[in-house]
Structures are given as C-alpha cells and as structure tokens.
Amino acid sequence: MTPHAFNIYSNNNQRSLAIRAVLIDKLQYRALQVNQDPRPDADLNICIGGDGSFLRAVHSSGFSQVPFVGINTGHLGFYQEILVSEIDSFIDQFIHGEYINTELGLLSGRIAHGDSSQELFALNEFVVRTQNSTIAHMEVYVDDYHLENFAGDGLIVSTPSGSTAYNFSVGGSVLYQTMKGFQMVPIAPINSRAYRSLLNPLVMPNTTKLRLVPTPREGDNILVIADGINLDFKEIEYIEFTFGKKHINRIVFNPMWYWINIKDKFL
C-alpha cells in the first residue's frame, strides 16, 4: 500500500482542537504521515469544524487540488460528512480507496477597481451589497447584454454547492452540487413604479459571463463578500462572474450523502 500523508485544518474551538489531537493519534498509530503544515503533495485535506471552517480551509489552502473531507464538530454541515464517531472507519475506507471524488466548481469574481482588477474565487457565493445598508443600484449584464437596472439590498451570485447556504435563505434554487452552472438571486429587490428588478433567482449555464456594474456614485460604497469574507475594494467599476474555471475536489463516502443532508437540514 502506498504511504499516505494528511493535511489537517481545524477551527480553534476546544472541541475541534481535542478532535484534532485524537485524529492525529489515530493516523500516527496506523503509521500514516501528518504534515506539520499543509503541503500540496498530501493525499487528503481534513477539515475539522463546521461549514465555515471548511470554507476557511479551502480559502487558506489557496483552493488546493488535494481532495477535501470534513469532520463535523458543529451542527449539521453540508461540507462535513464525517461524524466524530466515524473517524476510524473513515480512515480505513480512505486508505482502501472506498470513496467517490466530487468536483465542486468555483465562482470566479473579477473585480475591476481604480486602475486595476483582481480575480478572486468562492466556493459558496459572492454577495454584492452596499457598505452602509443603503439601496444598491447596479446594472446587470449577461454576456454583455443589458438585462436590468437592479435596485435592492444586494445580489448573491452562488455556486451549486453554495446554493443551500445564503442563496437558500433568500429564496434561491437548490442546484445539485456538481451541476455546471450558477445563479444570481436578489436580496430584497425593489419592484415599483420607479424600479423594475427581477424578483426571481436566475440560473445560468457555466458558459455565461455575468457583470454587475454599480452606478458610478456608488463604486466606493459597494461591499463584496466571498464565502463570508469581506473584501476591501474602493472605486469598484464592475464585477464579472464566471463559473467552473477552477474547482476543488471533495471526497464522499456515502453516495446518498447530499440527499440525506437536504432532508436533515430542510425537511
């Protein structure tokens, strides 16, 4: 059997740290390698915590191509299949290759600001809203075609795997996590005599380029949030979203895991 090496990510709560210590003992007992710091040649990234910890691990790894798995120490987690009581069987199944790899597509958000632009990625979603909670005004373009002048609290652009997160809370559609597409969903859109904003989620294929252009006087007041992380940009000219240029790998042991999660969380 080939040797295996593991990267371990954990949040700092006491329970997660205690489980991290137990996990390291169990891996070392089986003569498996635990990297002191995460390495790109590891066989698995193990994230201990809840969905937020999983998201932070994915970001801090630089969207590593090493497969991810989550051990759940919080409430039910959409990215965290392994329960603490299942750690032994998880290690055994992993080293025997008894798992399925799922590719989770990432959203790219290119933010043009001042004289430059920067491309960032998200696993769940980008949220675009105003910094001071005033009405956000944005022009929405789909493949360079002007679709609407949005007015409302903001817009969420979500991946399929993020569709059960913030997107779900504002009435977005649930998209199966490995689907090749993404969606835009409005937060409190205004539809009145003065404003015409689309009230529904809009699901787009992965070939679509979606551009949000804040009205010029608002460029400084726009806040972009990627997977819960506030991004600090001034003078935003536009944000352009595309899907699927990059992905992460997440391994799953129970093929029905996704549907179990949906039922458990929402029904």
Residue 190 host element (H or E): none
Block residue for tokens 């991810």: 68
Which of 84, 103, 113 is closest to 214 using CA atoms?
A: 113
110-129 footprint of ligand NAD as x/- string (CB under 6 A)? --------------xx----
Nearer Cβ to ligand NAD, position 162 or 186? 162
Which of 69, 73, 42, 72 is closest to 57 using CA atoms?
A: 69
Nearer Cβ to ligand NAD, position 147 or 262? 262
Query: Residue from 126, 166, 241, 243 that binds ligand NAD (CB under 6 A)?
Result: 166
Q: CB-based burial of residue 187 (10 Å sphere; 0-12 exposed, 13-18 middle, 19+ buried)?
A: middle
Q: By CB under 6 A, is residue 162 in contact with ligand NAD?
A: yes
Block residue for tokens 């252009």: 213
Using CA atoms, how far residue 233 sits from 68, 74, 130, 134, in Å, is 30, 32, 12, 17
Q: Note if 51 is an active site residue.
A: yes
Q: Which of 37, 43, 51, 115 is catalytic?
A: 51
Query: Residue from 118, 169, 230, 254 that binds ligand NAD (CB under 6 A)?
Result: 169
Q: By CB under 6 A, is residue 258 in contact with ligand NAD?
A: no
Q: Are 197 and 151 in contact (CB under 8 A)?
A: yes
- Binding part of the chain for ligand NAD, among 21-29, 46-54, 205-213, 251-259 by CB under 6 A, reads 46-54
Query: Residue from 6, 9, 68, 78 that binds ligand NAD (CB under 6 A)?
Result: 78
Binding site for ligand NAD (CB under 6 A): 50-52, 55, 77-78, 124-125, 161-162, 164-166, 169, 227-228
